[in-house]
Amino acid sequence: MKWSNPTVRAAGIVVLVVTALLGSAYVLGRSLIPDQPQRQGTGVNTNADGPYYADQPTDDASSAAPTTSSGPAQAGQDGSGRDAEGEKLFGAHSTTGTPRLALTFDDGPDPRYTPQVLATLREFDVKATFCVVGENAQAHPDLIRAIVADGHTLCNHSWHHDVTLGNRSADTIRADLLRTNEAIRAAVPDAPIVWYRQPGGAWTYPVVSMAQQLGMTALHWSVDPADWEAPGASKIAASVLTQAEPGSVVLLHDAGGDRQGTVDALHRILADLTGRFELEALPTDPT
């Protein structure tokens, strides 16, 4: 093919012009798209339905305070301040310290699941501990009041479920915990808040120390059925019933994602556990 041919030369020029125009359009289009923000390691996803929390810490947090990802932490701590799985708890309680067993519910309150959990607990006359997220307490003060009215214990679970909170400055940690307590007390002014649970169990000395300065005791767990992964009611129930023993602190969730599996498992869990253990809400005077 010879470029000296007028027809061929004209076709080549057209191809070059079209290619240049397409390239310019692409560059212009990219310039009109704003830069996407980097994902922050907060363990939080949000969508139209509300906040969804991942209860395990991100990579940023796990390097400072590793948590169990392959199975539940076991009860008990040795002189090193670690539990039997080697987790750094920095003095956080992983058992009740008595033969009684404690059910704890994290990440709420949630208008879909918290009322169902409360109704089932009421049916079995069981008191539990609710570790509430500040932004959810602010959004649903009626549910905070319902939790307290039924005789359950409240626990601070940070403002926005930030699993890296323990790695932040003392002022940031203090502000976060105080903001959460203020949201809770806006709904129930006189309710005691004497427990704090770090999202993801990503404990550090600064967050445990600050909780203590604010009059709260750090609360971990000894039984984790990984219901935050939504494995289904049968697996959740079987995991809790197999692992439960005197003094266990059971980690469950009434918010932070699709928790219907947890709600559906709760009836079976309570029917069994109430026949084997005395269940309690954690005391409001842990000292």
Predicted TM-score (pTM) of this structure: 0.76
Task: Map residue 263 onto helix, strand or coil.
Answer: helix
Looking at residue 195, what is its pLDDT?
A: 98
State the pLDDT confidence band at 63, using cuts at 50, 70 and 90.
very low
Looking at residue 267, what is its pLDDT?
A: 98
Lowest mean pLDDT among 61-65, 69-73, 85-89: 69-73
- The better pLDDT of the pair 171, 85 is held by 171
219 beta partners: 93
**Tens-place pLDDT, residues 190-239:** 999 999 999 999 999 999 999 999 999 999 999 999 999 999 999 999 99
DSSP string of 124-157, one letter each residue: TT---EEEE-HHHHHH-HHHHHHHHHTTPEEEE-
Q: What CA–CA distance (Å, rounded) separates 95 from 250?
A: 9
95 beta partners: 248
User: What percentage of the chain has pLDDT greater than the value 90?
Assistant: 68
**Tens-place pLDDT, residues 38-55:** 333 333 443 335 576 754
Looking at residue 88, what is its pLDDT?
A: 87
152 noted as active-site residue = no
Structure tokens at 68: 């169990």
**Tens-place pLDDT, residues 146-202:** 999 999 999 999 999 999 999 999 999 999 999 999 999 999 999 999 999 999 999
Exposed, middle or buried: residue 131 (CB in 10 Å: 0-12, 13-18, 19+)? buried
User: What percentage of the chain has pLDDT greater than the value 70?
Assistant: 69
Q: What CA–CA distance (Å, rounded) separates 257 from 235?
A: 17
**Tens-place pLDDT, residues 107-132:** 999 999 999 999 999 999 999 999 99
Asked if residue 263 lies in contact with residue 117, where contact means CB atoms within 8 angstroms, the answer is yes
106 noted as active-site residue = yes
**Tens-place pLDDT, residues 134-147:** 999 999 999 999 99
Query: Cα separations (Å) of 59 from 9, 41, 110?
Result: 59, 8, 27
> Among 144, 117, 157, 109, which residue's Cα sits nearest to residue 269?
117
Q: Which of 83, 106, 110, 162 is catalytic?
A: 106
| Mean pLDDT of all residues in 87-114 | 95
Asked if residue 180 lies in contact with residue 156, where contact means CB atoms within 8 angstroms, the answer is yes
Q: Which of 93, 140, 220, 253 is catalytic?
A: 253
Task: Map residue 246 onto helix, strand or coil.
Answer: coil
Looking at residue 87, what is its pLDDT?
A: 60
